[in-house]
Structure 1
Amino acid sequence: MGSATLLFALFLFCPGGVICEILQNFSDVPPCQAFFYQGQEPTGLASPSTARICQRLQGQYYYATLYHRDARVPIYSAYILEKSTTSRPDLSSTNWYLEPMLADLPQGDMLQPSQSAMQNESEKVTDSQAVNDDYRNSGFSRGHLNPSGHHSAESQISTFTYTNMAPQQGNFNSGTWNNYETFLKDSILPGCSQTHVVTGIILSGSHPGEGVWLRGRVNVPTFYWSAFCCVRGDGSRRAEGRLGSNTAPYEVLAKSIPELEAILGREYGGAVSLFSGGCQ
């Protein structure tokens, strides 16, 4: 067994043989590490309240998420931009996936709420993360951080999990933020040999009573942010960021990577680095 395979095996199983994909570092699982530019996850955004999740469906890894357990929203999702050749899956929000490992259940893949492993532990699952009932009739849309339109086939389906969702104003979701997502796939993707994207949020508060919350359980972000690192065929790079307001008039501002890192650093209380070497 090679060293990389051995490392993967060691971290795939927790004591007692339980499958474990909640990680200390994304580098613990090489397939998950690959979603980050040069294999380096962002620094300065993790906290004792966050969990690193390798988003896995039917044994396949699709992207990486840093999930805030207390706020029940992802701080960011990181992925590789793909050409979309399939239409958006027709998947009811009641069947969007949940993460059993946040509830300490011995399951390696995201599961739908209707599956027996989730139904048998529904109270434990609901306590550990956001669920459909949190969003139902809330006035907010289920905002993908990693959007389905940046993927195809099974990759698209894997984005429909509540660990990849945060409350988003509908007009923002379908308007200015959608314009940015379209810009990435139509204007950036064609000119790049590989594009790494990290998309996240800025919390409106860390605890209920601070900021805006759905049902007193799910934090409503004040801002969405995103950064991309495009590596062209000749080895040159292009990196930019965006900061979008989750309140009217839903302005989305272009930012350099250092500018975006400085904003996030002020919000999260320390130095933030999104890409190794700034993708320069």
Structure 2
Amino acid sequence: MMTCVWLYVFFTILCHSGLCEVVQNFSDVPSCRRFFYQGQEPLGLSSSKTANICQRLQGVYYYATLYHRVARVPIYSAYILEQSTTSRPDISSSNWYLEPMLADIAREDMLPPSHSTMQPVLDAITESQAVNDDYRNSGQTRGHLNPSQHHSSESQISTFTYTNMAPQESNFNSGTWNQYESFLRDQILPACSQAHILTGVILSGSSPGEGKWLRNRVNVPTFFWSAFCCIETSGARRREGRLGRNASPYDVVNKTIPQLQDILSQEYGGKVVLFQGSCQ
């Protein structure tokens, strides 16, 4: 009993010292807060079913994710757009990273399922998040919200985690949505001294039985959305949004940030603000 108490105390100290990857507030971790425009996370998308993840690999924070524990997909990932310097890493999907702390296992870094410390706790981790078996032979691809092509070689690998994935139709993933991701990399990034990106989903249902699910565990979103705030080299701000349909005809529609916020507010039942400080 005393061992359990001391483990709880140790875990709590780690969390409050900013070493925990799953945090109560993104603002508690300065290295994680920086991924949001002016250090302020979106309003109106979190709930009692979501978890704040500061995506950390080998002691380094690379982006932030709001993860839906029931739908087992991220509601959004927030990151800073970088110049891609290498090709996509060759990592088997069976060894993509998992997040132990979603299962209350005191490991600060994401880890691959093959890691020795993961083997005894894989059942608990599988209960807490999506894993490779959910996607295998499902007809859905593992759709990055934060794509590897938006990062340098040091941070590309960190995007290959199932807490950064949502089921995505193949033609959408490799087609119109990929074209938008390339637009951000090739046309937006060169004009920006810094670009903050938010990419998220609209769920097809909040619990199994509502909407479309993989193996009754992982929600298949109806839409993917994205918003960017570009701080141009002149000091001006540019902000735009996109809404992409995760089904034929896979259209990706331009939206102003207010339009996108209105759509998300209707879907999530409260006022949504993507960029506090407005990025005007």
TM-score, reference length from structure 1: 0.94
1:219 matched to 2:256: no
| Aligned-partner Cα distance in 2 for 1:278–1:213 | 35
2:106 corresponds to which residue?
106
Deviation at 1:90, TM superposition (A): 0.3
Deviation at 1:208, TM superposition (A): 0.4
2:48 corresponds to which residue?
48
| Aligned-partner Cα distance in 1 for 2:210–2:117 | 34
SS in 2 for 1:277: coil
1:268 matched to 2:275: no
1:156-204 Cα distance to aligned partner (Å, 9 max, x none): 0000000000000000000000000000000000000000000000000
| Aligned-partner Cα distance in 2 for 1:17–1:147 | 29
| Aligned-partner Cα distance in 2 for 1:180–1:20 | 33
Structure 2 unaligned spans of 5+: 1-9
Preserved contact between residue 83 and residue 150 of structure 1 (Cα < 8 Å): yes
1:29-83 Cα distance to aligned partner (Å, 9 max, x none): 0000000000000000000000000000000000000000000000000000000
1:143 corresponds to which residue?
143
Structure 1 residues 92 and 192: CA distance shift in structure 2, 3 A: same
Deviation at 1:128, TM superposition (A): 0.3
| Aligned-partner Cα distance in 2 for 1:103–1:81 | 30
Structure 1 residues 225 and 11: CA distance shift in structure 2, 3 A: farther
Preserved contact between residue 81 and residue 197 of structure 2 (Cα < 8 Å): yes
Preserved contact between residue 189 and residue 195 of structure 2 (Cα < 8 Å): yes
Preserved contact between residue 51 and residue 69 of structure 2 (Cα < 8 Å): yes
| Aligned-partner Cα distance in 2 for 1:60–1:12 | 20
| Aligned-partner Cα distance in 2 for 1:116–1:74 | 26
| Aligned-partner Cα distance in 2 for 1:180–1:35 | 20
Structure 1 residues 11 and 186: CA distance shift in structure 2, 3 A: farther
Deviation at 1:18, TM superposition (A): 11
Matched to 2:168, the amino acid is Q
1:152 corresponds to which residue?
152
Preserved contact between residue 144 and residue 165 of structure 1 (Cα < 8 Å): yes
1:92 corresponds to which residue?
92
Deviation at 1:12, TM superposition (A): 8.2
Structure 1 unaligned spans of 5+: 1-9
- How is 1:1-280 mapped onto 2 (pairs within 5 angstroms)? 13-14=13-14, 20-280=20-280
| Aligned-partner Cα distance in 2 for 1:54–1:11 | 16
Preserved contact between residue 12 and residue 19 of structure 1 (Cα < 8 Å): no
Structure 1 residues 242 and 18: CA distance shift in structure 2, 3 A: closer
2:3 corresponds to which residue?
none
Matched to 2:60, the amino acid is Q
Aligned alpha-carbon RMSD (Å): 1.7
Residues matched between the structures, number:
271
SS in 1 for 2:118: helix
Structure 1 residues 15 and 242: CA distance shift in structure 2, 3 A: closer
TM-score, reference length from structure 2: 0.94
Structure 1 residues 230 and 94: CA distance shift in structure 2, 3 A: same
Structure 1 residues 19 and 85: CA distance shift in structure 2, 3 A: closer
| Aligned-partner Cα distance in 1 for 2:16–2:46 | 27
Preserved contact between residue 241 and residue 255 of structure 1 (Cα < 8 Å): yes
2:4 corresponds to which residue?
none
Matched to 1:210, the amino acid is E
SS in 2 for 1:117: coil
Preserved contact between residue 43 and residue 274 of structure 1 (Cα < 8 Å): yes
SS in 2 for 1:200: strand
Structure 1 residues 16 and 158: CA distance shift in structure 2, 3 A: closer
| Aligned-partner Cα distance in 2 for 1:243–1:12 | 39
Deviation at 1:154, TM superposition (A): 2.4
Deviation at 1:277, TM superposition (A): 2.7
